[in-house]
Amino acid sequence: MIHNVFLATDGSRYAEGAARYSVWSAAAFDTKLIGCYVMDRKVLDGPFITRLSMMLGFTPAADFRAAAEPVLRSLGESALGFVGELCGEQGVELVKLILEGPVASTLVDAAKNSELMVIGRQGDHAEYEYDVLGNVADAVLRRSPRALMLAPADFEEPVGAVLLYDEPTAGGEALRYALALPEELPLTVLHTPELADKAAGELKSYGRSAELGLLEEPAAVTAARRDSAELVILGADTSHGHLVVDPRVQRAAHQSRSPLLISP
């Protein structure tokens, strides 16, 4: 089911967790990893840079771009070099991409043939943001047609996975991602009362054992309460061609301490 995992990295310390979770995911799903660094077009071509170039005496402003582009490319190569070291340790095949463009839309387009994208909850500008979810991560979440894992900055190797089965259709698709994980990773399925029989039936049809339990609180609250060493999986509607960030998904994305996999 998972043919490749896609990592979005900006080389920041906040992206280190995403890098480690992406390598773990590629190893768990027994597939290759595509690592991608995007040279932000706003940095290269934005109005601020144009004005700054003129103030510093660079004419035309393209002179600044000529100097900045190799620096950004070097940062990308360094970020992907770190990912390469992690892949080498785990025996994971890595494909490296360095692209240029608006960051969020470029990432979404580059990942369109991947079944899972991994991105850090925050990135390079985390010190200047007051929300738990960074601007790029939030924009990718709202545009991605594929499953997305929001990774915390600090990596903890998952000791189990928990599926929050609170929607009939989305929950069924999320279960497929959960079942693609190695059988040695314990799986817990927490379901609403009305979905108890459906959850048990789907597990039986796949021949996979899992601990079943009642989802007694909203998904976001449950996600926030789970052990940070668990992978939390939540289904989202994709009727509009992308992950629909309804209130339940939005709250879970903002409140979960664990790596959160939001599936289509």
Domains and CATH numbers, the chain: 4-151 (3.40.50.12370), 160-263 (3.40.50.620)
**If you average pLDDT over every residue of the chain, what do you get?**
87
pLDDT in tens, 121-144: 975 544 444 445 788 999 999 999
DSSP letter for 164, please: E
Q: Are 205 and 140 in contact (CB under 8 A)?
A: no
DSSP structure string for 45-95: H-HHHHHHHHHTT-SSTHHHHHHHHHHHHHHHHHHHHHHHHHHHHHT--EE
Q: What percent of the chain has pLDDT over 70?
A: 86
Averaged pLDDT for residues 222-237: 93
More confident residue, 260 or 71: 260
pTM of the full structure: 0.88
Identify the weakest region by mean pLDDT among 49-53, 149-153, 161-165.
49-53
209 in Cβ contact with 200 (< 8 Å): no
Asked whether the predicted pLDDT for residue 107 surpasses 90, the reply is yes
Question: Would the CA dihedral through 69, 129, 16, 105 be positive or negative?
Answer: negative
pLDDT at 119: 96
Q: What is the model's pLDDT at position 244?
A: 84
